[in-house]
Homo-oligomer: A and B are copies of this chain.
């Protein structure tokens, strides 16, 4: 594709670096911004730059934050005996949106994946161990990806904590509410049969 302007070409190139944005979409976004006022485009560009420059990561749970300590960790009404271990911000937002969880979080920043060169030392695991060592934590809920890498990470953490009096649980895997059996993969289906619940618990979870 040839562009009649270097500026257009450069902006399209920047947009195509974003995930899921191809050349045609990038051009559409660029032309949209071209139609906006200079003030609006400046606000767009500066908002993005300011975010990257000013964002902090919570010193306790490593979630993104505007302060040194995020507003979940500093919230005294939350249950600090319960920590949900997640990979990133997206999972924190998803769980927070359920409005059902009242514990704290710990953001690992990923899962152990030798193939991608990610070892335990690249993740926020040491600080999790320290948090458990304070003795205040009663249960860790592992909410990592249900993949080989996620399972490896859970295994690594549980081994590191085996001498500490903390309960480790994983979130339930199974058929989603409204999910139809015939479209579920065999692995999930088999596991959801193996880990079936007494009917009383099912009624409770509704």
Contacts and interface: CB of A to CB of B under 8 A. Distances in A.
A46 B11 CA distance: 9
A50 B11 CA distance: 9
Among A3, A25, A32, A52: residue with most chain B CB under 10 A:
A52
A193 interface: no
Contacts of A89: 4, 8, 31
Number of copies: 2
| A-side interface size class | 35 or more
Given A11-B51, A49-B42, A89-B31, A66 B3 contact: no
* Secondary structure dominating the interface of A: helix
Given A34-B51, A47-B11, A93 B3 contact: yes
Contact of A27 (B2, B46, B66, B93): B93
A97 B52 CA distance: 37
A86 to B, nearest CB: 12
